């Protein structure tokens, strides 16, 4: 019997806890990737060692397909691992985590394919790979070089598992919606479809058709102002939250189709400036604490 | 001298496939350079690369032999300070100086150096000098590199050779590792052939080319066993050889129902997104199979990975492609035209809609030709496919989808084909179209792009050419080379500038000249690539003057013709006669401080100078009626070659620097006229 979705998460937490990561909880806010969680975005800056792992539900409004696409949804789960400083055996640790999930590696084709991940809104960039399993990307593996435009010193390893993708490999199925969520046989069985299909349909409609555009524009401005205001009081964590809120508002506006090509660059620049400001204050504060 | 075998391996994390071949070459060249600089003799240097290994094998001399140096110092009568300074700089007391032939000398020996002491420095310098397009830092290493490296290996004359690599904070060891998944254990080779063979047994093929060949072989074998033919893809072959240390192969099936999209879309998706090879069935149709190059040999025969490969991303992509194709067919290409007014081509150059208006303006010079209607139609449709779902998903299908949709929607064959061909040539090896519509549309579009960017002060610099203007310029030239007459770039650019003034905004005054100089550099580059000599190319270039024509095809034709003609004896004689004339006219005009000499028939006296003049007049009259076209080039050349004898005779019989100033001035004037006639064909002064 292959692992259920919830078991996969438990096993990954178990594996990384055994390694020495603190197992955190997801950040309780809308964000596009696990990287936006302060445990990665902020903690990867500065010299303090840090090993953390957590599930992060992620939202990419533009990727909604009303539940009709078997592999693409506007809401999905990432399992995020951040190891600072980057261990010399980072790749081996990752491969062993897959073995811990029961993946019989020589029977699967695993390749590290060049991909240098970047987040223009966070000003984050790194070098690394997409990990392909049997022709499918299942993980993003990145050595962070900068966040908020600031050099990371020391460099961290970021491993971002696409949990749905991994589950389809482990369970040998085709569609995310067929994922066995709770590993129960018989009437109690819950699939991904059972748990999330309705949300997927409704949120796709919300993202593309119903989200209030006027409110979103106003919110974007408000969050930006609040972020800057809070930074002047050195409240970097509340400030950073507002930066993330602004970023999500921008993602929704894009999904609604109201942001033109030229304007897009401006919005990204604005969020990036907020992110950079937060990172600067964060570094300042952590230096003072040291 | 004895040469010892040296083997070195740097082992780390997966190097991007696209960097590997050039890194292999750099490693090779730099090792030879750094050894040479240190005086170490090396031979038969070979480098190899896999995704995880950078490998070197060379025969190195056991030592740098001792050298006796004899160094000369100051003169014997030099001031004491100079002598003391010399002694200080060479660490030798004055008593040890020798005296010879008026100078102080010192003789000293540099002791022999063991290769063991030199190679570590050579390897560190070599690796430090390597440059990667992108590098990264990681905690242990003081030096950035393409990806983290963790391990190194070296043997010299069969024995482990341990030394430091401070640039990575590593030390070489006596062992290597086999294939990461299939045979990860440590190996202890004691020679290069041992190294190579142990690795083969551990599923690592160190030679990139060998991996390519292996992949190709396996693909062909699989194709045969399924009665299929492989669709060759050299670029994909190179890429996949850079993604595996051992090329396993997996053949998967595709549901033929997924083949709803055109072949190009399917194979592009397979190649680009999934790095898979495609096949044709015996009827030449795309076969419902794909081949993936895998980094493993599955013990279960491929059962577990079949699910992922056949049901995974490839299937999803092909379903997307089919969906996009069906959606796109519902919209006629012309319906996208109004939307192009809302798409920015470039922030400084306006919208794509503006571009189309400018292309129409330029196309109006063809309004009286029979192809004009088709040309207008092609312009209206040429950018539409950019707005289709398919091209939105697979940008590399631009043009290809245009042709397919146009044909499906009933456009004429010429127009449909032009929608794809007008992008060509896109690179050095690419096809150059010959159909009128394709060539014309291609030229107009490229010229509009180049004129626009240059007209706004945007030109490539050094290594930065974000808008690919060099490639655009080369495309324009190669299109023009294929044309017959009438390839005046000046006319085309002027027309384009007019179009900008009408449909966007006027461009800077010096745009035309800037483009022509830019094009001239590209032209010289292309002609040099074809192998034409530098001086002939320079001779055939026009002077860049506003308003003067710049006929690219003619320049090339001249260069080609003259390269051949000047190799023959006739051509050589022509040049030497010309040079003789130039030499004396230049020397004398410098002495006299004049720029030209007058000439009058009545001052001709000797038979040979009259003869030269008569010949000049005859040729001038003939050439006046012979337009300088590509067809007439060899006739022009022959006419000039015909001066060889009259010039020779002239110089035999006539003393140019006659004491009589009138005769002298006249003879220099006559020669100047001959030179001027030559120069009207090409700048023969540039020929060496």
DSSP string, B292-320: EEESS--TTTTHHHHHHHHHSHHHHHHHH
CB atoms within 10 A of CB A258: 13
DSSP string of B30-82? HHHHHHHHHT--EEEEEEEE-SSEEEEEEEEESEEPPEEEEEEEEETTS-HHH
Q: What is the rounded distance in angstroms from the CA atom of residue B627 to the CA atom of residue B679?
A: 15
> Does the structure show a pLDDT above 70 at A83?
yes
Task: Give the list of residues 6+ apart from residue B453 with CB closer than 8 angstroms, or none.
Answer: B346, B348, B349, B459, B467, B469
Task: Provide the phi-psi class of B224: left if phi over 0, else alpha when psi is between -120 and 50, else beta.
Answer: alpha
Higher-pLDDT residue of B96 and B651 is: B651
> Does the structure show a pLDDT above 80 at B2?
no
Cβ contact, residue pair B148, A172, below 8 Å: no
Both structure tokens of A190: 């819950």
Classify residue B372 by its DSSP letter.
H
Cβ contact, residue pair A106, B134, below 8 Å: no
pLDDT value at residue B247: 95
Please provide the average confidence, as pLDDT, over all residues in chain B.
91
Residues of A in contact with B150 (CB under 8 A): 88
Tell me the pLDDT band of B550, cut-offs 50, 70 and 90. confident
Which residue is closest to B301 within chain A, CA to CA? A107
What are the helix (H) ranges across B91-207?
A: 115-129, 192-201
Q: Does residue A116 belong to the interface with chain B, where contact is any CB pair within 8 Å?
A: yes
Residue with tokens 């992060």: A56
Tell me the pLDDT band of A262, cut-offs 50, 70 and 90. low
Both structure tokens of A154: 């020391």
Cβ contact, residue pair A86, B138, below 8 Å: yes
> Does the structure show a pLDDT above 90 at B680?
no
Gyration radius of chain A's alpha carbons: 19
Lowest mean pLDDT among A165-169, B82-86, B213-217: B82-86
pTM of the model: 0.79
pLDDT value at residue A289: 83
Average pLDDT over residues A265-277: 93
Cβ contact, residue pair A109, B248, below 8 Å: yes
Lowest mean pLDDT among B260-264, B428-432, B453-457: B428-432
Q: How many CB pairs under 8 A join A and B?
A: 113
> Does the structure show a pLDDT above 80 at B485?
no
Residues of B in contact with A105 (CB under 8 A): 181, 296
Residues of B in contact with A264 (CB under 8 A): none
Q: What is the rounded distance in angstroms from the CA atom of residue B453 to the CA atom of residue A192?
A: 52
Helix H or strand E encompassing B512: helix B511-529
What are the helix (H) ranges across B130-170?
A: none
> Does the structure show a pLDDT above 60 at B471?
yes
Strands (E), chain A: 22-23, 50-59, 75-84, 110-114, 118-119, 124-133, 136-147, 150-151, 157-162
pLDDT value at residue B545: 60
Q: Does residue A68 belong to the interface with chain B, where contact is any CB pair within 8 Å?
A: no
> Does the structure show a pLDDT above 70 at B112?
yes
pLDDT value at residue B86: 87
Q: Does residue A20 belong to the interface with chain B, where contact is any CB pair within 8 Å?
A: no
- The pLDDT tens digits for B122-160 are 999 999 999 999 999 999 999 999 999 999 999 999 999
> Does the structure show a pLDDT above 90 at B217?
yes
> Does the structure show a pLDDT above 70 at B627?
yes
Helix H or strand E encompassing B278: strand B276-280
> Among partner residues A70, A127, A173, which is closest to B136 by beta-carbon distance?
A127
pLDDT value at residue B50: 97
In angstroms, the Cα distances linking B128 to A14, B11, B25, B122 are 41, 16, 15, 10
Contact A255, A64 (CB under 8 A): yes
Lowest mean pLDDT among B176-180, B441-445, B551-555: B551-555
Residues of B in contact with A135 (CB under 8 A): 274, 276, 292, 308-309, 312-314
Q: What is the rounded distance in angstroms from the CA atom of residue A167 to the CA atom of residue A139?
A: 12
- The pLDDT tens digits for B631-655 are 888 888 888 888 888 998 999 998 9
- The pLDDT tens digits for A8-66 are 999 999 999 999 999 999 999 999 999 999 999 999 999 999 999 999 999 999 999 89
Q: What is the rounded distance in angstroms from the CA atom of residue B458 to the CA atom of residue B94?
A: 65
Lowest mean pLDDT among A183-187, B139-143, B461-465: B461-465
Helix H or strand E encompassing B288: strand B286-294
Average pLDDT over residues B213-231: 95
Mutate to test the interface with B, among A134, A257, A264 (most CBs of B within 10 A): A134
Cβ contact, residue pair A106, B51, below 8 Å: no
User: Smallest Cα–Cα separation from A233: which of A287, A203, A278?
Assistant: A278
Both structure tokens of B530: 């074809």
Please provide the average confidence, as pLDDT, over all residues in chain A.
95
Collapse the DSSP code of B328 into the 3-class scheme (helix H, G, I; strand E, B; otherwise coil) and give the result: helix
Average pLDDT over residues B425-429: 81
For the CA atoms of B447, B450, B453, B457, the dihedral, rounded to the nearest 10 degrees, stands at: -120
> Among partner residues B134, B181, B312, which is closest to A106 by beta-carbon distance?
B181
Tell me the pLDDT band of B1, cut-offs 50, 70 and 90. low
> Does the structure show a pLDDT above 70 at B546?
no
- The pLDDT tens digits for B304-321 are 888 888 888 888 888 888
Q: Does residue A109 belong to the interface with chain B, where contact is any CB pair within 8 Å?
A: yes
pLDDT value at residue B81: 87
Q: What is the rounded distance in angstroms from the CA atom of residue A277 to the CA atom of residue A257?
A: 28
CB atoms within 10 A of CB B7: 23
Helix H or strand E encompassing B6: strand B3-12
Number of residues in chain A: 290
CA A89 from chain centre, in angstroms, equals 23
Q: In chain B, how many H helices and how many E strands? A: 25, 20
User: Smallest Cα–Cα separation from B295: which of B237, B250, B240, B248?
Assistant: B248
For the CA atoms of A104, A106, A109, A114, the dihedral, rounded to the nearest 10 degrees, stands at: 100
Higher-pLDDT residue of B198 and A288 is: B198
- The pLDDT tens digits for B351-378 are 899 999 999 999 998 888 889 999 999 9
Contact B397, B320 (CB under 8 A): no
Higher-pLDDT residue of B182 and B461 is: B182
> Does the structure show a pLDDT above 90 at A97?
yes
Q: What's the distance, Cα to Cα, between the start and end of chain A in Å?
A: 50
- The pLDDT tens digits for B48-69 are 999 999 999 999 998 888 888 8
pLDDT value at residue A166: 96
Q: Does residue A71 belong to the interface with chain B, where contact is any CB pair within 8 Å?
A: yes
pLDDT value at residue A257: 85
Strands (E), B166-219: 170-173, 176-177, 186-187
> Does the structure show a pLDDT above 70 at A162?
yes
Tell me the pLDDT band of B248, cut-offs 50, 70 and 90. very high
Residues of B in contact with A171 (CB under 8 A): none
pLDDT value at residue B564: 87
Gyration radius of chain B's alpha carbons: 35
User: Smallest Cα–Cα separation from B50: which of B87, B96, B11, B80?
Assistant: B11
Average pLDDT over residues A258-281: 89
pLDDT value at residue B544: 65
In angstroms, the Cα distances linking A101 to A95, A164, A168 are 10, 14, 13
């Amino acid at each position: 019997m292959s692992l259920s979705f919830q078991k996969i998460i438990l096993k990954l937490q178990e594996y990384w806890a055994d390694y020495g990561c603190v197992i955190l909880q997801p950040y309780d806010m809308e964000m596009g990737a696990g990287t936006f969680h302060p445990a990665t975005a902020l903690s990867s800056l500065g010299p303090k060692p840090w090993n953390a792992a957590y599930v992060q539900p992620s939202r990419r409004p533009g990727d909604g397909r009303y539940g009709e696409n078997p592999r693409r949804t506007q809401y999905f789960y990432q399992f995020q691992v951040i190891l600072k400083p980057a261990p010399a055996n980072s790749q081996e640790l990752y491969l062993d985590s897959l073995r811990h999930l029961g993946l019989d590696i020589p029977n699967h084709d695993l390749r590290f394919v060049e991909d240098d991940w970047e987040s223009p809104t966070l000003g984050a960039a790194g070098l690394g790979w997409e990990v392909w399993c049997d022709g499918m990307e299942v993980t993003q593996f990145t050595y962070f070089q900068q966040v908020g435009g600031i050099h990371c010193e020391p460099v961290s390893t970021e491993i971002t598992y696409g949990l749905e993708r991994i589950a389809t490999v482990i369970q040998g199925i085709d569609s995310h919606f067929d994922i066995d969520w709770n590993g129960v046989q018989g009437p109690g069985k819950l699939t991904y479809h059972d748990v999330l299909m309705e949300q997927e349909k409704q949120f796709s409609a919300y993202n593309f058709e119903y989200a209030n555009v006027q409110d979103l524009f106003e919110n974007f401005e408000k969050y930006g102002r609040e972020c800057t205001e809070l930074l002047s009081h050195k409240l970097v964590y509340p400030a950073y939250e507002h930066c993330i809120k602004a970023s999500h508002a921008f993602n929704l506006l894009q999904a609604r189709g109201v942001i033109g090509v030229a304007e897009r660059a401006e919005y990204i620049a604005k969020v990036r400036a907020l992110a950079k400001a937060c990172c600067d204050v964060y570094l300042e504060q952590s230096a003072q604490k040291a | 001298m004895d040469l010892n075998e040296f083997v070195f391996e740097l082992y780390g994390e997966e190097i991007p496939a696209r960097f590997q071949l050039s890194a292999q070459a750099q490693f090779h060249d730099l090792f030879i350079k750094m050894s040479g600089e240190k005086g170490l003799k090396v031979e038969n240097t070979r480098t190899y690369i896999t995704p995880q290994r950078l490998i070197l094998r060379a025969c190195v001399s056991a030592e740098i032999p001792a050298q006796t140096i004899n160094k000369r110092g100051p003169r014997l009568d030099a001031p004491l300070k100079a002598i003391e300074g010399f002694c200080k700089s060479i660490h030798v007391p004055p008593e040890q100086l020798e005296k010879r032939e008026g100078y102080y000398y010192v003789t000293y020996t540099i002791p022999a150096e063991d290769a063991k002491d030199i190679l570590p420095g050579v390897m560190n310098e070599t690796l430090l000098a390597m440059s990667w397009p992108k590098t990264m830092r990681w905690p242990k290493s003081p030096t950035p590199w393409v990806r983290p490296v963790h391990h190194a290996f070296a043997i010299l004359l069969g024995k482990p050779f341990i030394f430091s690599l401070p640039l990575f904070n590593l030390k070489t060891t006596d062992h290597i590792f086999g294939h990461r998944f299939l045979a990860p254990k440590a190996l202890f080779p004691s020679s290069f052939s041992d190294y190579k063979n142990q690795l083969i047994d551990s599923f690592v093929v160190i030679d990139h080319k060998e991996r390519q060949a292996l992949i190709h072989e396996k693909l062909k074998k699989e194709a045969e066993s399924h009665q299929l033919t492989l669709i060759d893809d050299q670029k994909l072959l190179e890429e996949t050889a850079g993604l595996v240390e051992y090329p396993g192969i997996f053949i998967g099936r595709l549901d033929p129902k997924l083949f709803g999209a055109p072949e190009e879309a399917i194979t592009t998706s397979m190649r680009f997104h999934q790095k898979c090879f495609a096949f044709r069935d015996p009827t030449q149709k795309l076969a419902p199979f794909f081949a993936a190059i895998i980094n493993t040999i599955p013990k279960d025969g491929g059962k577990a990975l079949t699910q992922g490969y056949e049901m995974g991303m490839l299937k999803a992509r092909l379903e997307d492609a089919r969906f996009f194709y069906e959606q796109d067919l519902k919209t006629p290409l012309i319906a996208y035209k109004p939307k192009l007014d809302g798409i920015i081509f470039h922030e400084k150059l306006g919208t794509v809609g503006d571009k189309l208006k400018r292309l129409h303006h330029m196309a109006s010079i063809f309004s009286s030709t029979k192809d004009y209607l088709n040309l207008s139609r092609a312009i209206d449709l040429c950018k539409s496919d950019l707005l289709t779902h398919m091209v939105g998903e697979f940008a590399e299908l631009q043009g290809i989808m245009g042709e397919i949709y146009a044909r499906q929607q009933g456009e004429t064959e010429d127009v449909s084909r032009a929608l794809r061909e007008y992008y060509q040539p896109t690179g050095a090896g690419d096809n150059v179209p010959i159909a009128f519509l394709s060539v014309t549309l291609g030229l107009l579009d490229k010229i509009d792009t180049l004129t626009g960017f240059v007209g706004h002060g945007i030109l490539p610099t050094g290594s930065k050419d974000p808008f690919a203007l060099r490639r655009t310029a080369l495309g324009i030239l190669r299109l023009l080379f294929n044309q017959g007459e009438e390839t005046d770039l000046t006319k085309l650019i002027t027309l384009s500038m007019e179009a900008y003034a009408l449909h966007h905004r006027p461009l800077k005054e010096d745009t035309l000249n800037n483009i022509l100089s830019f094009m001239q550099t590209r032209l010289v580059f292309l002609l040099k690539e074809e192998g034409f000599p530098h001086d002939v190319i320079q001779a055939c270039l026009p002077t860049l003057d506003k308003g003067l024509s710049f006929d690219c095809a003619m320049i090339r034709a001249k260069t080609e013709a003259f390269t051949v003609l000047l190799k023959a004896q006739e051509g050589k004689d022509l040049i030497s006669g010309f040079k003789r004339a130039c030499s004396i006219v230049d020397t004398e005009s410098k002495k006299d401080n004049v720029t030209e000499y007058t000439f009058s028939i009545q001052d001709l006296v000797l038979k040979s100078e009259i003869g030269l003049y008569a010949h000049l007049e005859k040729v001038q009259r003939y050439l006046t009626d012979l337009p300088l076209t590509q067809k007439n080039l060899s006739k022009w050349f022959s006419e000039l070659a015909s001066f060889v004898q009259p010039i020779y005779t002239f110089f035999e019989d006539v003393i140019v620097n006659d004491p009589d100033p009138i005769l002298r001035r006249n003879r220099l004037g006559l020669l100047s006229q001959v030179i001027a006639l030559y120069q009207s064909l090409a700048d023969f002064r540039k020929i060496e």
